[in-house]
Amino acid sequence: MSAQTTPVPAFEVIASSGQTEVLIPGQGWRRAVVGRLIPAGSIVTTWVDADATIGVSGVEVQISPLTHLTIQTNDQLVETVLETGGLVVRVDRIHPARIVVVMPAQEYRIEASNAQFAIDRRAIVVSQGEVRVSRSRSPEVVLEAPATYSLLLHSPRR
């Protein structure tokens, strides 16, 4: 009897406009065309005139212009590293998926399941569900929709 392995889910490009590119490990840069699979370890970059929507396991991410995003996935977790730009994230309540957005320059970690939120270098805006925000040496903050959290002021606003 052989052991079966569960494949690591890959994001799929749902929509793309302008100059959106994907760096797939071992393959180099490719255009982000609808239907292209984006495996773990890939980087998605949008230029000034571009945006894209990608999805996996009940998670949909709308990528704003001038965004640089690194993607990691496993069975129930999607982890993205947001270097620049912004995202609108929706996590479908039917699926067990969970998303973590890490912003290394600001040391933030944003975690959500069953939520919809937008994020850029200035703020997190929660429009549905609950989002947890943590930062090194700071207590975790739980944001329930509707809520805005200023990443510049480090305090929640409603």
Q: What is the DSSP track for 19-83?
A: SEEEEETTTEEEE--TT-EE-TT-EEEE-TT-EEEEEETTEEEEEPSS-EEEEEE-SSEEEEEEE
In this prediction, residue 40 carries a pLDDT of: 87
Closest CA to 63 of 28, 19, 29, 93: 19
In this prediction, residue 3 carries a pLDDT of: 46
In this prediction, residue 25 carries a pLDDT of: 92
In this prediction, residue 94 carries a pLDDT of: 55
**Count of all residues that appear for the chain in the document:** 158
In this prediction, residue 137 carries a pLDDT of: 82
Q: Taking the chain (158 residues) in consecutive chunks of 10 residues, what is each chunk's mean pLDDT?
A: 52 96 94 94 92 88 92 73 87 69 85 90 92 89 95 64
In this prediction, residue 5 carries a pLDDT of: 42
Instruction: Give the domains, in start order, of the chain with CATH numbers.
Output: 11-157 (2.60.120.1440)
